[in-house]
């Protein structure tokens, strides 16, 4: 199931009367026919809200969901072509369309970045270069020669990340012996033992298990060309690296990897084959109904390779469904010349987009029983996950409930989506309120049960905080554990406040966690959005909703920080480099989504009439297109901070609308009085200690 989108992520319907207000917008205070000073001040924002509401409504699918494009970087497209080459299912039309997309993302210096406006990145550049070689581009072509020269300057293939070199090893461009070992026997480690598979975050776990099979089999499909031009010295492509001191963690794991290389040569056959078989069963059991794994591209790619190595032919139902699922991640568009280009999404975000769109429309004044909101609620109710997944390993007695991010991902519901879906459902006056109550009760109990020991919430698992996985030589591709984060914890706290549970022990522990994790400058770190602006824009509204007064020193520090990083044009922006370099915190070109996050915090903190907030609102209004949408080429989301960045194409629509809606209509009520109008009566049953 996929959405048909235009270049900005969805179809566009022009508004017939762009300067009129939404039908549900309340009349301004004062005598009939009299315009108040407040109305004069908010008039441009009201008109912007009206246009944005129509724009967003026009993009809803008939089934009730929204989905914007999820743009990442060209490694997705390159690895898709490499997979098809490895499986022998290459298609010339697909290859040429993907190559056009990859060429179109090359920078003037010959490199590829991992986010808009970012610097060249070595592994992305190598993978893009190899994909273009598969498409027929030659080393002597000017764009290829520039890329190769830059790669050599950066240390060549030997300096790329492990995952890039795994792809090259599949075709004989790199030696398996020169890669870290991930033995399939890992599957046998008990759940209490360090470095068992459940010590890894779910995204890493789903990727590492199939890679243990690949690492054990070490396949090579002869490549159609060499890559000598990407080595600093083709005769010595991988110069030995010095060992770190044995007393250091780096040195310990380096020596452990050497021991695993020796074990690979002498591994008992029966033990090795039993481990491979167990990994194979683990992989197949976690395939989703649509054929994918976890609803994301990387585990699907490596699972297909692993199963193919174990004898699953391309006609096998598991393989066929898996390949078809990857095809659904492809977005086809036309260039100005009419030639097709093909972009691969790393995953799809319909649940996340739909709950955010529902909140935005409701907070913009759309009637809670509007058909669009009811359709959205129906669709979200149908996506509820009511069976256990991997999360149950750490919480075996917890009943299931909640939502995932994607169309199909029953094994990995996440706490962030679940909290936001609950907030969205509470804004809808559904004709069958009992369905809402039952789903919210199940999801609320599950969310409470997923709280980590320290009082915060991670995204997918509870207490996924082992310090060891990130130290493995193999794990250089980004964050591989899932500790509690400020943004997820804030969204859960906001949900609990909305459910009238802000004074429960669990909520108070979450408040303490958030106050403890405030940065010295007043901001909060953003794990799943860029970065301190996202974290701060998530935490401040949650703390206020939970009863922390706007005068609290933590909130005043947050407001002061937001004032200090506001751009001269009135907007806010933050570059992804803030994850690596503190000087970038809150610094970057103004974007609609980040400006909206800053405004959400300011409005919640009582700064609605401040000059700072007014300037932000004016920036959003001025940046709006005539059709009611906004443009945003910058990447403001993350998969892994810095290492894997995301441009959610719907963020530029939903967050500005939410911020402007709250500016016009005020903050959404909390504490048991939903937008739909009637008090709730305990959807989350009180329990001892909760």
Give the ranges where 504-634 is alpha helix by DSSP (H).
505-516, 532-545, 553-565, 592-604, 611-623
Q: Specify the 3-state DSSP secondary structure of 455.
A: coil
Residue 276 tokens, joined: 């491979």
> Which of 416, 417, 482, 487 is labelled catalytic?
416
Query: What is d(CA 400, CA 571) in angstroms, rounded to the nearest whole number?
Result: 41
Residue 167 tokens, joined: 């792809």
Residue 614 tokens, joined: 């007014």
Of 133, 106, 136, the C-alpha closest to 121 is 106
Strand partners, 644: 640
Residue 41 tokens, joined: 């001040």
Listing DSSP states for 516-552 in one string gives HT--TTS----SSBSSHHHHHHHHHHHHHHTT--TTS
Q: How many residues does the chain have?
A: 690
Strand partners, 464: 482
Cβ atoms of 281 and 303 within 8 Å: the answer is no
Cα maximum dimension of the chain: 88
The gap between the terminal CA atoms of the chain, to the nearest Å, is: 38
69 is annotated as an active-site residue: no
Query: What is d(CA 563, CA 585) in angstroms, rounded to the nearest whole number?
Result: 13
Cβ atoms of 149 and 201 within 8 Å: the answer is no
- Backbone φ and ψ of 619, nearest 5°: -65, -45
Query: What is d(CA 280, CA 403) in angstroms, rounded to the nearest whole number?
Result: 27
Cβ atoms of 617 and 599 within 8 Å: the answer is yes
Active site residues: 416
């Amino acid at each position: 199931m996929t959405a048909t989108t235009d270049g900005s992520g969805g179809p566009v319907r022009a508004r017939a009367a762009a300067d009129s207000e939404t039908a549900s917008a309340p009349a301004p205070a004062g005598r009939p026919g009299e315009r108040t000073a407040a109305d004069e001040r908010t008039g441009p924002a009201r008109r912007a809200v009206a246009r944005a509401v129509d724009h967003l409504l026009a993009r809803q699918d008939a089934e009730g969901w929204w989905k914007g494009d999820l743009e990442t970087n060209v490694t997705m497209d390159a690895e898709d072509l490499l997979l098809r080459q490895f499986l022998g299912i290459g298609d010339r039309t697909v290859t040429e369309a993907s190559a056009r997309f990859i060429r179109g993302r090359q920078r003037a210096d010959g490199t590829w970045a991992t986010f808009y406006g970012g610097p060249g990145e070595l592994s992305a550049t190598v993978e893009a270069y190899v994909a273009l070689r598969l498409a027929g581009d030659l080393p002597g072509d000017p764009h290829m020669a520039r890329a190769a020269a830059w790669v050599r300057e950066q240390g060549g293939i030997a300096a790329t990340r492990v995952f890039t070199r795994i792809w090259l090893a599949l075709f004989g461009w790199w030696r398996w012996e020169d890669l870290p070992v991930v033995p399939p026997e890992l599957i046998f480690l008990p759940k209490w033992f360090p470095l068992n598979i459940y010590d890894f975050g779910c995204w890493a776990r789903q990727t590492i298990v199939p890679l243990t099979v690949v690492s054990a089999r070490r396949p090579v499909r002869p490549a159609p060309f060499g890559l000598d031009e990407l080595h600093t010295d083709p005769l010595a492509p991988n110069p030995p690296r010095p060992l770190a001191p044995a007393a250091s963690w780096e040195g310990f794991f380096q020596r452990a990897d050497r021991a695993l290389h020796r074990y690979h040569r002498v591994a008992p056959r029966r033990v090795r084959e039993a481990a491979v078989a167990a990994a194979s069963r683990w992989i197949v059991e976690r395939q989703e109904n649509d054929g994918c794994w976890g609803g994301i591209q990387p585990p699907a790619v490596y699972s297909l390779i692993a199963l193919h190595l174990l004898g699953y032919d391309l006609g096998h139902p598991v393989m066929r469904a898996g390949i078809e699922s990857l095809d659904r991640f492809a977005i086809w568009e036309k260039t100005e010349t009419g030639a097709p280009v093909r972009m691969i999404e790393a995953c799809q975000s319909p649940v996340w987009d739909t709950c955010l769109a529902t909140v935005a429309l409701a907070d913009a004044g759309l009637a809670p029983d509007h058909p669009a909101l009811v359709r959205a609620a129906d669709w979200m109710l149908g996506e509820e996950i009511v069976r256990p997944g991997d999360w149950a390993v750490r919480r075996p007695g917890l009943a299931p409930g909640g939502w995932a991010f994607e169309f199909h991902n029953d094994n990995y519901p996440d706490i962030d989506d679940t909290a936001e879906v609950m907030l969205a459902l509470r804004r809808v006056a559904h004709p069958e309120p009992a369905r809402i109550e039952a789903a919210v009760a199940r999801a609320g109990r599950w969310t409470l049960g997923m709280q980590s020991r320290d009082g915060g919430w991670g995204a997918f698992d509870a207490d996924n905080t082992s310090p060891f996985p990130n130290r493995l030589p193999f794990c250089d591709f980004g964050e591989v554990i899932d500790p509690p984060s400020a943004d997820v914890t804030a969204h859960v706290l906001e949900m609990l406040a909305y459910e009238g549970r802000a004074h429960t022990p669990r909520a108070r522990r979450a408040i303490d966690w958030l106050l403890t994790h405030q940065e010295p400058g007043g901001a909060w770190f953003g794990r799943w959005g860029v970065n301190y602006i996202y974290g701060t824009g998530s935490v401040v509204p949650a703390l206020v909703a939970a009863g922390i007064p706007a005068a609290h020193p933590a909130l005043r520090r947050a407001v002061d920080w937001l004032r200090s990083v506001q751009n001269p044009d009135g907007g806010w922006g933050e570059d992804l480099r803030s994850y690596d370099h503190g000087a970038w915190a809150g610094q970057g070109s103004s974007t609609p989504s980040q400006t909206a996050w800053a405004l959400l915090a300011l409005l919640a903190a009582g700064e609605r009439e401040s000059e700072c907030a007014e300037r932000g609102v004016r920036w959003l209004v001025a940046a709006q297109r005539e059709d009611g949408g906004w443009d945003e080429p910058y990447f403001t989301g993350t998969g892994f901070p810095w290492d894997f960045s995301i441009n959610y194409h719907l963020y530029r629509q939903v967050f500005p609308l939410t911020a402007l809606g709250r500016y016009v209509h005020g903050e959404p009520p909390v504490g048991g009085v939903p937008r739909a109008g009637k008090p709730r009566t305990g959807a989350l049953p009180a329990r001892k200690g909760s």
